[in-house]
Amino acid sequence: MFCGQCQNLTDASPCSVCANNQRNREQICVVEEPLDVLALERTHCYRGLYHVLHGVLSPLNGVGPDQIKLRELFARLSDGEVRELVIATNPTLEGEATAMYISRHLAGSDVRVTHLARGLPVGGSLEYTDEVTLSRAFQGRQQVD
């Protein structure tokens, strides 16, 4: 069964995350699949809510906005409670296209749309890192404190 709010897999609706009043209800993190929620929860660094799309836009595979949980996402945002939408789609062409679709749909709204940072993996080697990842890591560089 799906949670009626975040669309995550659950045995009760709302799920334990959505039912937790300690979570930041002004922030929603959008992920592709239920396992992505588990991965983010293991970090213990995010205290907002989630929205699971159950896929990504992939026109070549016949997956459009109506085939994933975008309608439900936009309905959640219509009440004005959410201030920030964190897009945490995978760094694939389809994930990036989905992120762009969401951000364009919300252009002009009061919702701040952010995206997880992209960059080098811990323990990785520059020599074996692809050009796109290196470019994004360079563009997203930060000052050393």
pLDDT tens by residue, 45-63: 999 999 999 999 999 999 9
Q: Considering the domain boundaries, does residue 56 fall inside one?
A: yes
Query: Hey, which residues does 29 pair with through a beta bridge?
Result: 50, 86
Q: Considering the domain boundaries, does residue 36 fall inside one?
A: yes
Question: How many Å apart are CA 63 and CA 1, to the nearest integer?
Answer: 22
Q: Considering the domain boundaries, does residue 50 fall inside one?
A: yes
Q: Considering the domain boundaries, does residue 106 fall inside one?
A: yes
Mean pLDDT of the chain: 94
Give the residue with greater pLDDT, 52 vs 119. Answer: 52
Predicted local distance difference test score (pLDDT) of residue 25 = 98
Axis crossing angle, helix 93-105 with helix 70-77, rounded to the nearest 10: 30
Predicted local distance difference test score (pLDDT) of residue 123 = 85
Q: Considering the domain boundaries, does residue 49 fall inside one?
A: yes
Q: Considering the domain boundaries, does residue 121 fall inside one?
A: yes
Number of domains the chain is built from: 1
Q: Give the CATH number for residue 113.
A: 3.40.1360.10
Domain that holds residue 31: 24-139
**Cis amide linkage into residue 14, ω under 30° from 0:** yes
Residue 143 has pLDDT above 80, yes or no: no
Q: Considering the domain boundaries, does residue 111 fall inside one?
A: yes
And the tokens for 117? 């940072």
Query: Which helix (H) or strand (E) is 86 found in, with range?
Result: strand 84-87
